Structure 1
Amino acid sequence: MKIQGKCFYQFTRSFSDRVGSTTSFVWASYCGLWQIHKSANALSALSEKPQWKKIEDYLVGEVPGRGGIDLHDISSKTWASHQASYSDFILTQGAILFEDWSKSLAEMTLVPGKKIKAETFQFASGATSNKWTNWSALDVPGIHTGSSFIKNEVQPALLTAYATNISSLDVLLNWYRFYKELRNSIAHHGGVIRQENVDAYETASLGSLASAGIKRNFSGVKPILGGKINLELHDAVLFLAIIQRLSFAFDAKYCHTNQAEANLIARLRGALADSPAPYELTAERKASWIKKFLMHRGGITPSSLPTAEAWLKSNNVLTIKVI
């Protein structure tokens, strides 16, 4: 589930990679288990008393370091129960990943007098709490003075790239809350549908995921109070798409803070400590070197290279003499 594009913060890149790895792991594992489940049931049906050790050796005997596989247990469960386990895993892993990412963004958007926490970026605009401040409060003019360099030279391209996601933040966040409540019901209430699940669905279903930049909409049915949660795997995977697009949208929206600039400067200085810049270059090679340095070590592509060079010099990051 890799989205072609860029983001500002390193922790957003790392988060996106981990979401993609989770998706790849789920599909590879899911397909592999399906083959084992199907084959084990077919082979066990050939005998009234299946010899599970022989069946196991035949099916997975050449798999290195396979650990303790209980093929009898795997085949005795319905495929629907296996699929439900994968859906549960996606909800739990996705919630953990997004919680950690939200905490990282909160550190980059701290404002005096505001309670900026992970929850700041987990509810639709206007949500209120005594424990945290909603992200919409950060959009009030004057709240963030921010970095003029990032705001003018870096942020515009990101805002354009993720314009659909940014304009659909409330839609994405409402669906995020729906999935988060599903996870809470599974983890803490035995998978029983609560009023919170019904309410979250009613709110989320007012918005279209397809219009928010995701390829398809949720295809499940409306949850019925007191029933059991039944989340199809293809709908569970949408949760990973939602949190990834939320991260890109918020990354672009809040990449210009003073903390973000300080973080960027620290990254660039750290890179130069590991691999110092050349003392002098021709004007052409200097421009090329700075462009590549900012792209590969800072993860940014400023719209004006002279402006970027002046910013580097003014912040005592880098000065290369022209020969």
Structure 2
Amino acid sequence: MGDNARYVFRASRDAHKSITRLFDFVHPTAISLWNLRWQVQGYLKNVSDADARTLEARFASGSGIGAGSLKRATVETTWDEQLENFASFILTNTIAIFEDYFSAICDVSSLTNAQKRQVEKQLQFPSGANNGGFSAALTTLGTSSLVSGAVTWDKRTTRRIDETNVEPLLVCYRYFKELRNSLAHNGGRAGQRQLDAQSEFAQTISGGKIGSVKAPDYNPFNAVDEEIRPEYRGVIGFSEVILHLIATYDSVLSKTPIVENELRAALVPDKLTWPTSQIGKTRRFNKVFDRNKFPKFTPTPELVAFLKTEGLIPLSVTI
């Protein structure tokens, strides 16, 4: 997955990095629990009368963590149940990261506070939603040609940019968001909203995909009050959907005035004397955009004029 993907917006970089680090924690933790289960179960086969204190001394000594529930966790709870718990943890955190992403994006805009709250919500819904969804948000944001034709994302990002399918990707997001809501607020049982979201999600899947990304696996439920069982591989697939949405939104939002505020905030003024050769000026221009953060920018006339106006490069520069 890698957390060094380059995006126009800092919020995109931060969200991608947070999702990567989430899995850097969860996957090794799940593997460790799998191995601990075998160790404890093997130990109990030979020392069947071992109590909680004995198990804690054998497996948790020095950790600073009490292990009174060690037997319940490694023997009495099935591996499938624990994978569902991991899935819930991943789902909850992935949704939180994505929600924070929209908040950070809107904070960069010049919208009023009321408009920011509205757009933050709309960007999380497909266009057919009651609040107007994606298309209504773009109408509020407006358009900007500042970096049009000037940005070249690398292959790791372009393979995830899927503007054509942003709507079905958002339908997928709404299903998993409703799944999270049920787990957090409805005792882990399905409500009518979850059933409706599941139906819409199923209809977006074509040939096992949603746009260019593999459709996440999921355990379907059929009735209100049925217990929801999140699927471990499914929420991993959902996280890939979120990475597609982040890359897609980075592209979409770079065509709105938010990009202008982003560059004003992110770039450091270069007031030194520039080289006179074309090659030297091109190299100097490239240094304006930190390649550890940004995709490649081309010095289009509009972008160069903006950088001059904002005092980010000398007025005398011609590229």
After TM superposition, the score normalised by the length of structure 2 is 0.83
What residue identity is the alignment partner of 1:251? D
- Please report how far the alpha carbon of residue 239 of structure 1 lies from its aligned counterpart in structure 2 after TM superposition: 2.4
Letter in structure 2 aligned against 1:126: G
Matched residue, 1:166: 163
CA deviation digits over 1:240-275, x for unaligned, max 9? 12222112111211113223212202221xx34xxx
Identity of aligned residues (%): 21
Whether contact under 8 Å (1:197, 1:223) holds in the other structure is no
Q: Which runs of 5+ in 2 are unaligned?
A: none
Give the direction of change, closer, same or farther, for the CA distance of 1:57–1:163 in structure 2 (3 Å limit). closer
Superposed, 1:125-204 pairs within 5 Å as 125-129=127-131, 133-140=132-139, 144-146=142-144, 148-154=145-151, 161=158, 165-204=162-201
* Structure 1 CA distance for aligned equivalents of residues 315 and 291 of structure 2: 18
Structure 1 segments, 4+ long, off by >6 Å, are 155-158
CA contact (8 A) 2:151 2:298 kept: yes
What is the CA deviation profile of residues 62-84 of structure 1, one whole-angstrom value per residue up to 9, with x for unaligned ones? Answer: xx755333423422322233222
Does residue 1:315 correspond to 2:314, yes or no? no
Counterpart among 267, 283, 286 of residue 288 in structure 1: 283
Instruction: Say how many residue pairs are matched.
Output: 309
Q: 1:72 to 1:145 in 2, by over 3 A?
A: closer
Report the Cα offset of residue 121 of structure 1.
Answer: 1.2
Shift of 1:40: 0.6
**Does the CA contact (< 8 Å) of 1:95 and 1:180 recur in 2?**
yes
1:238 Cα offset (Å): 2.2
**Secondary structure of the corresponding residue to residue 291 of structure 2:** helix
Match of 1:68 among 66, 69, 72: 66
Structure 2 equivalent of residue 245 of structure 1: 244
Q: Are 1:279 and 2:273 an aligned pair?
A: yes
In structure 1, the residue matched to 2:124 is 122
TM-score by length of 1: 0.82
For residue 144 of structure 1, report the CA deviation from its aligned partner.
1.6
Q: Relative contact order (alpha carbons < 8 A, sep ≥ 6): 1 or 2 greater?
A: 2
* Aligned 8 A contact 1:201 1:223 in 2: no
What one-letter code is carried by the residue in structure 2 that aligns with 1:67?
Answer: I
